[in-house]
Amino acid sequence: MARTGRRRGESGTREAILDAARACFAERGFSTTSVRSIAAAAGVDPALVHHYFGTKGELFAAAMELPLDPGAAVPALLEPGIDGLGERLVRFFLGVWDEPAARQRVQAVLRSALTEEAAAALLRDFVTTQVLGRVAAALGTPDGELRASLVGSQLVGLGLLRYLVRVEPLASADEDTVVAAVAPTIQRYLTGDMHQPG
Amino acid sequence: MARTGRRRGESGTREAILDAARACFAERGFSTTSVRSIAAAAGVDPALVHHYFGTKGELFAAAMELPLDPGAAVPALLEPGIDGLGERLVRFFLGVWDEPAARQRVQAVLRSALTEEAAAALLRDFVTTQVLGRVAAALGTPDGELRASLVGSQLVGLGLLRYLVRVEPLASADEDTVVAAVAPTIQRYLTGDMHQPG
């Protein structure tokens, strides 16, 4: 927080922007909050927000203390194409969750989403537009959004059981075992036949 | 609670048993807590606990206000055999989550598990011994426990995204669409080749 009667230093300005971002995102969601409105709430120029934090997605990740901006990570994963995307997504996802600090933050975000509807709405909005929407666009099929949300359901459930509730033997299985089991699921959700009966 | 100096009525006795069950399960977990120890803590005969609540699993479900005892539901789902089990599990699971009261309770249990390690340990113990262990035993293969925990990961993630965070279009998709998408995943985790590369 800025001390009264003194100019804020860089770290004070950064904190003021992060506070404003948390308040604006919580109140209006991710999509309808602009960097301009966050800058106004923090009393700084929008260019300074971009200078310190980059894109709106990166600012959101910093405000929520996420280990990375998923909206920035997804394009890099999509770039080599849809072939093998299932395995790339699973390996990337396991790599992020393997970091204890990342796990703690994701746990806090999930807990909030299960506690307050506003937090659930914010998570839903961010994940839909920044992560699943990008995967759906890369698929380019009419059912791309459904496919992307099914991918999300398997990855979130895997993270929850392996890293947070820690159900065995899934919690201790080595990465290659998990990839061999789960990557074909993800690849089928992305590109497989989804209308065959169970 | 019993009023001092008066005999507890039936509802007072039931409440005393539920209170004792919650305390014992929270302190010692599901597996190592006996109905006898809960009865002792409530100051009643074990036969009365069985009379009011049935099995330990049913008492746990009542104490946690679960919509049903998953440990009792699983054998009925397994009974017709492994063929088609994927679809039966998904349809049963969707049916439970479709009830708003059930959803609220599962949300509360998950929130607790993400908040306190003791609650996570209790959930892990119950789900492993009562649900996943039964599925693994029915499969009868050395990797049955891993397969069962993968089934759990997909079902939990589906419930979380469809019913709690409510990510679209998964949240609004009709049951048959979800079954066509997810049942083959579950069936492959149960009986498919798990060593093929992604």
Distance between CA atoms of residues A173 and B95, nearest Å:
31
Distance between CA atoms of residues A50 and B128, nearest Å:
48
Q: Could you list the residue range(s) of the whole structural domain that residue A27 is in?
A: 1-63
> Are A57 and A71 part of one and the same domain?
no
CB atoms within 10 A of CB A190: 21
* Mean pLDDT to the nearest integer, B92-105: 91
> Are B121 and B29 part of one and the same domain?
no
Find where tokens 């039964």 sit.
B134
Whether B143 has a pLDDT exceeding 90, the answer reads: yes
Model pLDDT, residue A8:
75
- pLDDT band of B184, cuts 50, 70, 90: very high
- Dig out the tokens for A25 from the structure: 């995102």
Q: Which residue of B has its CA nearest to A172?
A: B146
- Among B115, B185, B196, the residue to mutate for chain A (most A Cβ within 10 A): B185
Contact B40, B82 (CB under 8 A): no
Q: Which residue of A has its CA nearest to B193?
A: A181
* Mean pLDDT to the nearest integer, B173-196: 93
> Are B71 and B25 part of one and the same domain?
no
Contact B148, B128 (CB under 8 A): no
- Which residues does chain A have within 8 Å of residue B188's beta carbon, measured at their own beta carbons? 184-185
> Are B73 and B33 part of one and the same domain?
no
* Mean pLDDT to the nearest integer, B110-130: 90
- Dig out the tokens for B140 from the structure: 């009868």
The fraction of chain B above a pLDDT of 90, given in percent, is: 72
Q: Name residues of chain A where pLDDT drops below 50.
A: 1-3, 5, 197-198
Instruction: Summarize pLDDT for B29-88 with one digit per residue, the tens.
Output: 899 999 999 999 999 999 999 999 999 999 999 998 888 888 889 999 999 999 999 999
> Are B96 and B163 part of one and the same domain?
yes
Provide the shortest C-alpha distance from residue B39 to chain A (in Å): 29
> Are A15 and A73 part of one and the same domain?
no
> Are A157 and A170 part of one and the same domain?
yes
Distance between CA atoms of residues A91 and A57, nearest Å:
22
Model pLDDT, residue A67:
83
- Dig out the tokens for A19 from the structure: 């506070």
B23, B39, B63 - which closes a domain: B63
Model pLDDT, residue A7:
67
Number of domains observed in the structure of chain A? 2
> Are A142 and A101 part of one and the same domain?
yes
Inter-chain touch B161–A153, beta carbons under 8 Å: yes
ipTM of the complex: 0.88
A18, A47, A63 - which closes a domain: A63
> Are B139 and B180 part of one and the same domain?
yes
Provide the shortest C-alpha distance from residue B106 to chain A (in Å): 10
Residue A122 touches chain B, beta carbons under 8 Å: no
In whole numbers, what is the pLDDT of chain B averaged over residues?
91
B63, B79, B98 - which closes a domain: B63
> Are B45 and B77 part of one and the same domain?
no
Model pLDDT, residue A40:
97
Q: Which residue of A has its CA nearest to B127?
A: A167
CATH of the domain at A75: 1.10.357.10
- Which residues does chain B have within 8 Å of residue A184's beta carbon, measured at their own beta carbons? 188, 196, 198
> Are A54 and A105 part of one and the same domain?
no
Nearest-CB residue to B124 (from A86, A166, A198): A166
Model pLDDT, residue B1:
47
Inter-chain touch B164–A115, beta carbons under 8 Å: no
Model pLDDT, residue B15:
94
How distant, in Å, are the alpha carbons of A170, B87, B147, B190 from that of B140?
17, 20, 11, 11
> Are B140 and B175 part of one and the same domain?
yes
Instruction: Summarize pLDDT for A33-42 with one digit per residue, the tens.
Output: 999 999 999 9
Model pLDDT, residue B167:
95
Model pLDDT, residue A2:
45
Contact B175, B91 (CB under 8 A): yes
Model pLDDT, residue B6:
56
Nearest-CB residue to A198 (from B160, B168, B183): B183
* Mean pLDDT to the nearest integer, B6-30: 88
Fill in the amino acid letter for B92: F
CATH of the domain at B24: 1.10.10.60
How distant, in Å, are the alpha carbons of B41, B50, B59, B120 from that of B56?
15, 8, 5, 19
